[in-house]
Amino acid sequence: MGIYLPIAEISVNVFVLLAMGAAVGFLSGMFGVGGGFLITPLLIFYNIPPAIAVATGANQVIASSVSGVLSHMKRGTLDFKLGGVLLAGGIIGSTGGIYVFAFLRRLGQLDLFISLLYVVLLGTVGGLMLVESINALRATRSGAAPVLKKSGQHNWIHRLPLKMRFRASKLFVSVIPVLGLGAGIGFLSSIMGVGGGFIMVPALIYLLKVPTNVVIGTSLFQIIFTSAYTTLVHATTNQTVDVVLAFILMAGGVAGAQYGAKAGQRLRGEQLRALLALLVLAVAIRLAIDLFVTPPNLYSLSALGLN
């Protein structure tokens, strides 16, 4: 069944989009990530203009994050204060990102920049995760106890000034790295249409040493607001949020997420991380190939922006 997307201005198949949303929702529920990093490239592969894929992806991420945060709130695994500080940084980064986005769009380099960012970030994160999870799998197979984070172990981040106490995370740390992390994620959110969970989660665990059980809830909490802000700014400055497209993806996504979360409980942590790493790497490689393969058309047209 075809449906006309009012902002993207093309006709697409509803069932393809629903399936796309459900598949990504399933994976996001399974791995505890927003799924924006999968939705946006998939939309681009499906010929949705990248600018619209990014803005709509940010809108879709809100729905899956709300759905996830609700279950974390029930379990009490959410640090509102840490989330709030991350969010403050996120707003700053997102504002900067929107300006860069509009600038690159005028220059005609937006599509390239989005693809490059995806390839570099997904490649790095996916690669690191794969190495880490394979090591963990090897360690459990050989019978050795998994190496846990040693408490009291401090790195340079913990020597920075302006310290703040985050009770729910049992953390006493400078606000500078927290704000910086939030800003970085906000920037990526507005340019890539992602919530940034796939970077936020490892950064909170490995850099700030936040307890793993609080990480996902807190990350999802701040992602709701960062992507809401991103959606709003994209809607007002670029008019690239397609609400019909977003709604179809969400409808498939929220349903898939709950089933995915259940499926995820049956797999072990390091197996889950290895699978996620492979998935992330696959998306990165697919995007990388597109950068190097000779495009079918060397020439492209774009209307000179009215806004």
Partner 1 sequence: MTGRKAFATAIFLSLLAAVVPAKAQSLLPEGIQIGLSTDNVSITAGFSGADLTIFGSLENPDPLVARQNRYDVIVVLEGPPRPVVVRRKDRVLGVWVNLDSETFENVPMSYSVATTRPLQDITEPNSYKQLSLGASNIYMQPADAGDSPATIEEFTTALRERKAATGLYSENVGGVQFLSQNLFRATVRLAPNVPVGTHKARAFLFKSGLFIKESSAQLEIRKSGFEQSIFRVAHNYSFLYGVFAIALAMLTGWLGRLIFRKD
The binding site for partner 1 (CB under 8 A) comprises 2-7, 9-11, 59-60, 62-67, 70-71, 108-109, 111-112, 116, 224, 228, 231-236, 239, 241, 243-244, 246-247, 250-251, 253-255, 257-259, 261-262, 291-295, 297-304
Residue 77 DSSP SS3: coil
Query: Measured from the CB of residue 94, what is the shortest distance to partner 1 in angstroms?
Result: 13
d(CA 157, CA 12): 48
Report in angstroms how near the CB of residue 60 gets to partner 1 at its nearest: 7
Kindly state the smallest distance separating residue 280's Cβ from partner 1, in Å. 21
**Judged by CB, which is closer to partner 1: 44, or 179?**
44
Closest approach, Cβ 107 to partner 1, in A, equals 8
**Cα atoms in the 13 Å half-sphere on the side-chain side of 153:** 9
> Two tokens at 10?
């093309």
**Strand ranges in 87-205 using DSSP code E only, listed in sequence order:** 163-166, 171-174
Write down the least CB distance from residue 127 to partner 1, Å: 20
CB closer to partner 1, 49 vs 180: 49
148 vs 304, beta carbon nearer partner 1? 304
Q: To the nearest whole angstrom, how small is the minimum distance from the Cβ of residue 66 to partner 1?
A: 3
> What whole-number distance in Å separates Cα of residue 68 and Cα of residue 78?
11
Nearer residue to partner 1 within complex by CB, 257 or 280: 257
Burial of 50 (0-12, 13-18, 19+ CB in 10 A): buried
Between 148 and 293, CB nearer to partner 1: 293
CB closer to partner 1 out of 202 and 259:
259
Token pair, residue 64, equals: 């899956």
- Check if the beta carbon of residue 64 is closer than 8 Å to that of residue 257: yes
Question: What is the SS3 assignment for 279?
Answer: helix
Min separation Cβ 224 and partner 1, Å: 8
> Which residues share a beta bridge with 4?
11
Question: For residues 70 and 278, which CB has a smaller minimum distance to partner 1 in the complex?
Answer: 70
Q: What is the DSSP string of 93-123?
A: HHHHHHHHHHHHHHHT-HHHHHHHHHHHHHH
288: nearest Cα among 41, 37, 49, 55: 41
